[in-house]
Amino acid sequence: MYDTSLQHNLRSFAAETKYIFMETIYLGIVVFLFVLAIFDLVVGVSNDAVNFLQSAVGAKAASFKTILFIAGIGVFIGAALSNGMMDIARHGIYQPEHFYFAEIMCILLAVMLTDVVLLDVFNTMGMPTSTTVSMVFELLGGTFALALIKVYNSDTLGFGDLINTDKALSVIMGIFLSVAIAFFFGMLVQWLARIVFTFNYKKKMKYSIALFGGIAATSIIYFMLIKGLKDSSFMPPENKHWIQDNTGMLITCCFVFFTILMQILHLCKVNIFKVVVLMGTFSLALAFAGNDLVNFIGVPLAGYSSFIDYTTNGTAAGADGFLMSSLLGPAKTPWYFLIGAGAIMVYALCTSKKAHNVIKTSVDLSRQDEGEENFGSTPIARTLVRFSMTLANGISKMAPESTKRWINHRFQKDEAIIADGAAFDLVRASVNLVLAGLLIALGTSLKLPLSTTYVTFMVAMGTSLADRAWGRDSAVFRITGVLSVIGGWFITAGAAFTICFFVAMLIHFGGTIAIIALIGLAVFMLIRSQIMYKKRKEKEKGNETLKQLMQSTDNHEVLELLRKHTREELTKILAFTEENFERTVTSFLHENLRGLRRAMGSVKFEKQLIKQMKRTGTLAMCRLDNNIILEKGLYYYQGNDFASELVYSVGRLCEPCLEHIDNNFKPLDAIQKGEFADVTEDINYLLQVCRHKLETNDYHDLETEIRKANDLNGQLAHLKREELQRIQTQSGSIKVSMVYLTMIQEAQNVVTYTINLMKVSRKFQAEE
């Protein structure tokens, strides 16, 4: 009897200990979810701040601090009013009534861990990401992993019972459609706005500006406040019903009030477009916070709600036996979570260096004038440009001449009123902000998690296309950029689904050990991401000269900045040549296949940089007056050509060496190795000296390097004659001899192009 009682007590103690241990584990998971949520809030705002800052800052609508203050208020209010979207993370993708508490926590933890990995990978690569897209596809991936296991172990459950396929499809289609709709309406509304106001908008807005301002302000009030307050936890039910019953009256009153107000402000010499831009900044910041907050705290809140329900009602059934039907209910987010999230977002907006860096891809791709193009050209982009030109020419032939003349008169870009240093004018900035804010708010009111990043991006692309900002000289690069960004969206979706699928599998089968290991990996990734970001920012500092060059209007200053920029770029070319010439030769002599592949990869990447440098240089030269172009232009273009030849010479040297070693052909003999190793050392020294002279802009005693270069070419010519004699006597392998002759020829080219580069650089840098 005593033994039976003791055994019973021991079993009870063991069960209670196990319960406490498991409850502690799940509590730790919930806490970790909120820690990751804080990180997501900071990084998400840092990465997405450009969405609602770029138009106002790009058009110079106000000082940066003023814009930041207005955006901060919008973010805080948007976060405080965000409540209806949280259902996506609770039951939007999975059917919680068929999942146990342990399985739900597995999915939610996998989602947050995957989010950290994606942020790290895409931030390191510099690829565009969308937090909305990643969350939706992470939920799909994690749910699909657990659904596979449950369907395999059950005879009654199917995928339709576990995955909310209808809702998931509507969410995905909503994101897809938002991209197309944003581009179309951005193009249409901007075209109409430009027809009305023209580029010289100050002469065309005597009466139309009040109507435009009234429509814009009324739209913002309707979508941002009426639609937003409808789901707010602060709004009493009776007030919600009153707003719903009197929506028409409210819209009419707002339209009349704001139209009159805008006309009065216009008569008081207030720039209405600036008012609209600042209101649009507020509205887009509010829409961003309201729409994207679910991406950051929706999953942790679902985990928190699940944990509370389990500890209250499910301890008897256990984590593996308690179904989470409670998640089917609507989300009722406590106000302090919303306020706390809003405060963190505002803090990140005001302090993050990423948030302050407003010169982003969308600004570069939508600016009115030509400038540095960050993307190259692709066959798809070239095909689209040709198709668009053919279509435009066909439409132009059908349109009456009088209509074409009238439209072209409304689109006279030489009359554009653009502030100094601005990317586009206030008309386009107004349309960008107001339209993007309305589309996002509309999606939020319909509880569709739109991608804020891509809605704002595609609106900006549509307005820039309508504004004829994509000229024939830049259209192919702009289209390549747009396709690259959209391609990044597909990569985000695929990676989110796949990674979360495997992470959920690991957590399910690995248990506590897998959770601890994955959390450790996540912490490592966070630290690594910060280190990589700092390194990338250090590299980007070299572009400051180019930014100043593109913004300067003084002819003398442009020339000096162009000289400085040229020295910086050509110094990099010589450093590249020095490093990869030595790497190629050394790797070939030691039969190091990996080193040759690295050199070949570096050459391919450098060729793209050379193309970009040439495009930038052409744009910069166009900013100089004709006399300076005639005097210095030839030297500048010759320098670029010699720099290109240096890169291509290294490529022509590396390619046969790589093929030779990759095929395991016979290596050079000892005599050939010794001869070429000696001359390689002298060539590297010449490159070092020339690079130092170029970097310091000191061409004193350049004649000494010219004589050394002539001596080196003489040595290489001697090696070539000896090798030809060796071929005639058939004393060696013909394959080895052909590679060796190629090496000698390209080494001569490197020496010759280096000295020619120094000669023309001296003439270009000389003050005359």
In the chain (768 residues long), the average pLDDT of successive 10-residue segments reads: 54 57 77 82 71 76 82 83 66 81 87 80 63 82 89 80 74 74 86 83 74 84 63 66 78 88 86 85 78 77 84 76 79 78 83 56 56 59 68 74 80 73 76 80 67 78 78 66 72 86 90 84 76 62 65 75 85 92 92 91 87 77 74 82 91 92 87 88 92 88 89 90 81 81 92 92 80
287 by DSSP, 3-state: which? Answer: helix
Checking phi first, is residue 664 left (phi over 0); if not, alpha (psi -120 to 50) or beta? left
* pLDDT value for 651: 93
Measured distance CA(44)–CA(40) in Å, rounded = 5
- Quote the tokens at residue 612: 């970009």
**Type and span of the H or E element at 642:** helix 626-662
Measured distance CA(730)–CA(755) in Å, rounded = 36
| C-alpha distances out from residue 79 to 43, 218, 657, Å | 16, 22, 59
HSE, side-chain direction, 13 A CA sphere, residue 646 = 30
- The answer to whether the beta carbons of residues 483 and 460 sit under 8 Å apart is no
3-state SS record for 309-327: HHHHHCCCCCCCCCECHHH
- Quote the tokens at residue 256: 């009349």
- The answer to whether the beta carbons of residues 504 and 146 sit under 8 Å apart is yes
Measured distance CA(235)–CA(246) in Å, rounded = 16
Q: What is the pTM assigned to this prediction?
A: 0.70
Q: What is the largest CA-CA distance in the chain?
A: 111
Place of tokens 């200990």: 17
Alpha helices in 367-474 (DSSP H): 379-398, 401-410, 426-445, 452-466
Q: Cα–chain-centroid distance for residue 143? A: 28
- Quote the tokens at residue 332: 């009722």
Q: Which of 199, 225, 351 is nearest to 290 (CA)?
A: 225
Q: What are phi and psi of 275, to 5 degrees?
A: -60, -45
| C-alpha distances out from residue 154 to 55, 141, 149, 151, Å | 54, 20, 9, 5
163 by DSSP, 3-state: which? Answer: strand
| C-alpha distances out from residue 171 to 88, 132, 180, 449, Å | 9, 10, 15, 7
- The answer to whether the beta carbons of residues 177 and 450 sit under 8 Å apart is no
Helix, strand, coil percentages, rounded to 5, for the chain: 80, 0, 15
370 by DSSP, 3-state: which? Answer: coil
- The answer to whether the beta carbons of residues 568 and 549 sit under 8 Å apart is no
Compute the residue count for the chain. Answer: 768
One DSSP character per residue, 192-206 reads: HHHHHH-SSGGGS-T
Which residues are CB-contacts of 525 (< 8 A; sequence separation ≥ 6)?
A: 116, 117, 120
One DSSP character per residue, 33-99 reads: HHHHHHHHHHHHHHHHHHHHHHHHHHTT-S-HHHHHHHHHHHHHHHHHH--GGGHIIIIISB-GGGS
- The answer to whether the beta carbons of residues 371 and 477 sit under 8 Å apart is no
- The answer to whether the beta carbons of residues 581 and 653 sit under 8 Å apart is yes
Q: Which of 126, 131, 129 is nearest to 486 (CA)?
A: 129
Which residues are CB-contacts of 488 (< 8 A; sequence separation ≥ 6)?
A: 122, 127, 128, 129
- Quote the tokens at residue 452: 């804020």
Report the sign of the C-alpha dihedral through residues 610, 616, 621, 622, in that order: positive
- The answer to whether the beta carbons of residues 180 and 539 sit under 8 Å apart is no
Which residues are CB-contacts of 140 (< 8 A; sequence separation ≥ 6)?
A: 93, 163, 168, 497, 500
- The answer to whether the beta carbons of residues 138 and 110 sit under 8 Å apart is yes
